[in-house]
Structure 1
Amino acid sequence: MSEAFLKNPLGLFDIKGKTAIVTGASGAFGALAAKVLAGAGANVVLAASKESELNNVAKECEALGGKAAVIALRPSSEENCDKIVAKAVESFGGVDILVVASGLNKVAKITEQKLEDFLDVQDANVTQSWLMARAAGKQMLKQGHGGKVILTSSARGLLGHPAGYTAYCASKSAVDGITKALGCEWGETGITVNAIGPTVFRSPLTAWMYEDTERAQTVRKGFLARVPKGRLGEPEDLAGPLLFLASKASDFYTGHILYADGGYTAG
């Protein structure tokens, strides 16, 4: 262990000047990821379908001290993924970090769900993660100095759910498989591949669960019976794992799913 490391162990988390692509950057986790990385000094390339929403996130990132570039594309095709990576190269000279925060869920019992809805979820969560990891990985391999690929899994990649989650659970299990396989495939290249697996955390989609209504209290009570920490997640609960996986601190970690779940998957 070097003396320099001991004098500055927090240097392991330093990502100043690194360039990060964030897909789904207008969504709850994507916007949070972009702002956390920008606040830590990274350049961020924000990708999603709505340019106006991306511009708002970009302004917030720049107010936090980061530099931001916007591209109004989803990682829904090989061409789009290549263009997103090219935007990072054009704007900041390369790609060091990829965060795939784009995704989709369509909830329905299997006997009621349309095949097209099931396939839409697989495309958004699985195929697009694979395509974006491949596109960014090609650039990282070309650069030759490693990189950080961070996918978005879920506690539902490990556990089932009784309320019509067959499409979502299957997709997140597949993301876990990509994470592990690609972590092995790129193991000796210096590129790490990991995933964050949240459970419920505060966002526009889950805001109702945090309210004091009778419905919310009933749902929370049942859910929290399985959460050792005894509370629902907050956005900042995802910030630490993200910064760890994006920085040198996680250089020896690859193929992992890091559950940000208050202990939910432990029991």
Structure 2
Amino acid sequence: MSDYLSNPLELFSVAGKVAVVTGASGAFGEVAAEVLAAAGAKLVLAAGKKAELAAIAEKCRARGAEVAEVNVRPTSEAVCDELVRTAVATFGRVDILVVASGKNDVAKIVDMAPERFLDVMDANVTQSWLVARAFTKQLLAQGGGGKIVLMSSARGLLGHPAGYTAYCASKSAVDGITKALGCELGTQGITVNAIAPTVFRSPLTAWMFEENDNATAVRKGFLGRVPVGRLGEPQDLAGPLLFLASAASDFYTGHVLYADGGYTAG
């Protein structure tokens, strides 16, 4: 056993590691990219929105990171395999995967066409599985070892009355992938975990942080369920991500880590 007490912070180091981030232009993907860049990782950033991808890549380069941009979503086996090949061709190997891509589509079940339901399931479940599969093949080819971090939600555990059947189902499935894959890959030194936030500040939730009667009423109702008494901020996802992407979490796999201020505890 290494002498971890001589430098405890070394447990959280990702310096020199090669990290692939899908959905890098989204709210969580951007947090993941910038945190890993600031911590010294080499980055392969993937996203479907080219301009937004270029912008976050430049932010990461400004933090001193080496960055490769891949303008794709993980929509097929071929795309995911090519994404991993690009990472290996650029940096020689892969070490960390953060799957931050996904979507939501809110509608009552009687108003949601089956195609819309399947589209959410594809974006959140199938695509997560496909990129994790491609990444796992490369990790095993390298001899094992590595970190996979999936994006779940408190809604994978809890329902929601406002038309979240597709989203809740998809995130429950992500939780299942996390647990099953954690069990499957544990003996190979590959850990698989998920971060499950509740509401945190992003372009989609910015209205909840505003000071007006509607936002205040909604926020007050929501905060009645949050023991820490506030909404989430991007930095609330940064710490869990760094933990799950580093050696500090080597004995943790198959876990869903709720970044929710205690929301799911009550």
**Cα separation, 1, equivalents of 2:17 and 2:221:** 42
Q: Quick one: percent identity of the two aligned structures?
A: 71
- Structure 1 residue aligned with 2:135: 136
Q: Which one-letter code corresponds to 1:245 in the other structure?
A: L
Quote how far apart the aligned CAs of 1:122 are. 0.1
1:80 is matched with which residue? 79
Q: In the alignment, which residue of structure 2 is the partner of 1:219?
A: 218
Matched, 1:6 2:5: yes
After the TM superposition, list the runs of 4 or more consecutive aligned residues in structure 1 that deviate by more than 2 angstroms: none
1:17 and 1:42 in contact (8 A); partners too: yes
Match for 1:206: what amino acid? T
CA distance in 2, matches of 1:193, 1:70: 24
1:198 is displaced (CA, Å) by 0.3
Partner of 2:57: 58
In 2, Cα distance between equivalents of 1:132 and 1:145: 17
Q: Distance in 2 between matches of 1:206 and 1:37?
A: 24
Cα offsets for 1:20-75 (capped at 9, x unmatched): 00000011110110010010000010001122221111110011111110000100
Q: Secondary structure at the match of 1:79?
A: helix
Where do residues 89-238 of structure 1 align in structure 2 (5 Å cutoff)?
A: 89-238=88-237
Measure the CA separation in 1 of the matches of 2:186 and 2:146: 11
User: Residue in 1 aligned with 2:43?
Assistant: 44
Cα deviations across residues 213-244 of structure 1 (Å, max 9, x unaligned)? 11100110110000000000000000000000
1:11-22 correspondence to structure 2 within 5 Å: 11-22=10-21
1:4-28 deviation digits (Å, cap 9, x = unpaired): 3211010000110000000000111
Letter paired with 1:181: A
What is the CA deviation profile of residues 132-152 of structure 1, one whole-angstrom value per residue up to 9, with x for unaligned ones? 100001001111140000000
**Equivalent position amino acid for 1:122 in 2:** M
Aligned mates of 2:4, 2:148 — CA distance in 1: 24
The secondary structure found in structure 1 opposite 2:117 is helix
Tell me, in whole angstroms, the C-alpha distance in 2 between the residues paired with 1:248 and 1:25: 23
TM-score, length of structure 2 as denominator length: 0.99
Gaps of 5+ in 2: none
Distance 1:77 1:108 in 2: 26
Code of the residue aligned with 1:52 in structure 2: it is A
Structure 1 equivalent of residue 254 of structure 2: 255
One-letter amino acid of the structure 2 residue matched with residue 216 of structure 1 = A
Equivalent-residue separation in structure 1 for 2:218 and 2:66 (angstroms): 40
8 Å contact kept, 1:51–1:70: no
Aligned mates of 2:18, 2:120 — CA distance in 1 = 29
CA contact under 8 A between 1:21 and 1:97: conserved in structure 2? yes
Equivalent residue of 1:187, what SS?
A: helix
Which runs of 5 or more structure 1 residues have no equivalent in the other structure? none
**What RMSD over aligned residues (CA atoms) do the two structures have, in Å?**
0.8
**AA partner of residue 104 (structure 1):** K
